[in-house]
Amino acid sequence: MSAIENASRRRFLTGGIIAAGALVLGVRYYSRFSSGDTLPHDTNADHATLHPNVYLGIDPDGTVWIVASRSEMGTTSRTTLPLVVADELDADWKRVKIEQAIGDKRYGDQNTDGSHSIRSFYDAMREAGATARFMLIQAAAQQWGVPAAECETDLHVVVHRSTNRKAGYGELASAAAKLPVPKREELKFKAKSAWRYVGKGEVSYDLEALVTGKAIYGMDARVDGMVYASVEHPPVLGGKVKSYDDKEALKVAGVRQTVPIDPYQPPPAFQPLGGIAVIADNTWAAIQGRKKLNISWDNGANETYDSDAYKKELRETAHKPGKVVRNIGDADAVFAKAVKVYEADYYVPLLAHATMEPMVALAEFKDGKVTAWAPTQNPQAVQDIVSKELGIAKEDVICHVTLLGGGFGRKSKPDYVAEAAVLSKKVGRPVKVVWTREDDIKFDYYNAVASMYMKAALGADGKPTAWLQRSVFPPIPSIFDVNAVYGDPNHLQQGWTDIPYDLPNLRIENGPAKAHVRIGWLRSVANIYHAFGIQCFTDELAHAAGRDPVDYLLDVIGKPRTIDFKGVEYPNYGAPYDAYPWETGRLRHVTEMVAEKSGWGKRKHGKGADVGIAAHRSFLTYVATVVEVEVNDQGEVRIPRVDTVLDAGLVVNPEATRAQFEGAAVFGTSIVRTGEITATKGAINQSNFQDYPVARITEAPYQTNVYIVDSEAPPAGIGEPGVPPFVAAFCNAIYAATGKRVRDLPITKLGLS
Amino acid sequence: MIQLKVNGAEQSFDGDPEMPLLWYLRDVLALTGSKFGCGIGLCGACTVHVNGQATRSCVTAMRDTAGKEVTTVEGLEKNGLHPVQKAWMQINVPQCGYCQSGQIMQAAALLNSKKKPSDHEIDEAMSGNICRCGTYQRIRAAIKAAAGEMA
Predicted pLDDT at A40: 62
Strand partners, A433: A229, A361
Q: Has residue A8 got a pLDDT over 50? A: no
Amino acid identity for residue A646 in this structure? L
Residue A605's φ and ψ, nearest 5 degrees, are -120, 140
For residue A672, give Cα distances in angstroms to A628, A675, A688, A697, A728: 14, 6, 18, 15, 9
Predicted pLDDT at A10: 30
Alpha-carbon dihedral A34, A37, A39, A42, rounded to 10 degrees: -70
* Interfacial B residues in 13-42 facing A (CB < 8 Å): 15-16, 19-20, 23, 26-40, 42
For residue A42, give Cα distances in angstroms to A13, A370, A585: 8, 17, 48
Across the interface, of B23, B29, B94, the residue whose CB is closest to A283 is B23
- The answer to whether the pTM exceeds 0.90 is yes
* Interfacial B residues in 40-59 facing A (CB < 8 Å): 40, 42-43, 45
For residue B118, give Cα distances in angstroms to A21, A50, A94, A564, B110: 44, 54, 37, 53, 11
- Ordered by where they begin, the domains of chain B are 2-75 (3.10.20.30), 83-150 (1.10.150.120)
Average pLDDT over residues A38-63: 89
ipTM of the prediction greater than 0.85, yes or no: yes
Residues of B in contact with A254 (CB under 8 A): 15-16
pLDDT digits (tens, 9 = 90+) for A85-138: 999 999 999 999 999 999 999 999 999 999 999 999 999 999 999 999 999 999
Closest to A403 (Cα-Cα) out of A210, A653, A208: A210
Say how far apart CA A80 and CA A117 lie, in whole Å. Answer: 9
Average pLDDT over residues A490-501: 98
Q: Do A356 and B16 touch (CB under 8 A)?
A: no
Across the interface, of A74, A354, A667, the residue whose CB is closest to B96 is A74
**Residue B149: pLDDT band with limits 50, 70, 90:** confident
Predicted pLDDT at A123: 96
Q: Do A357 and B98 touch (CB under 8 A)?
A: yes
Q: Has residue A379 got a pLDDT over 50? A: yes
* Closest residue, chain A, to B45 (C-alpha): A356
pLDDT digits (tens, 9 = 90+) for A69-92: 999 999 999 999 999 999 999 999
For residue A353, give Cα distances in angstroms to A71, A205, A241, A456, A728: 17, 26, 27, 34, 19
Q: Do A667 and B132 touch (CB under 8 A)?
A: yes
Predicted pLDDT at B74: 98
Across the interface, of A253, A405, A434, the residue whose CB is closest to B16 is A253
Q: Has residue A34 got a pLDDT over 70? A: no
Q: Has residue A208 got a pLDDT over 60? A: yes
pLDDT digits (tens, 9 = 90+) for A435-485: 999 999 999 999 999 999 999 999 999 999 999 999 999 999 999 999 999
Say how far apart CA A385 and CA A271 lie, in whole Å. Answer: 7
- Is A208 touching B (CB cutoff 8 A)? yes
Task: Compute the mean pLDDT over every residue in chain A, rounded to the nearest whole number.
Answer: 94
Predicted pLDDT at A567: 93
**Residue A41: pLDDT band with limits 50, 70, 90:** low
Predicted pLDDT at B151: 76
DSSP A346: E
Best B77, B121, B133 member to test A by mutation, with max A CBs in 10 Å, is B133
Closest to A532 (Cα-Cα) out of A662, A726, A670, A702: A726
Q: Has residue A5 got a pLDDT over 80? A: no
Task: Establish, for the pair of chains A and B, how many residue pairs have beta carbons separated by less than 8 Å.
Answer: 193
- Is A407 touching B (CB cutoff 8 A)? yes
Predicted pLDDT at A469: 98
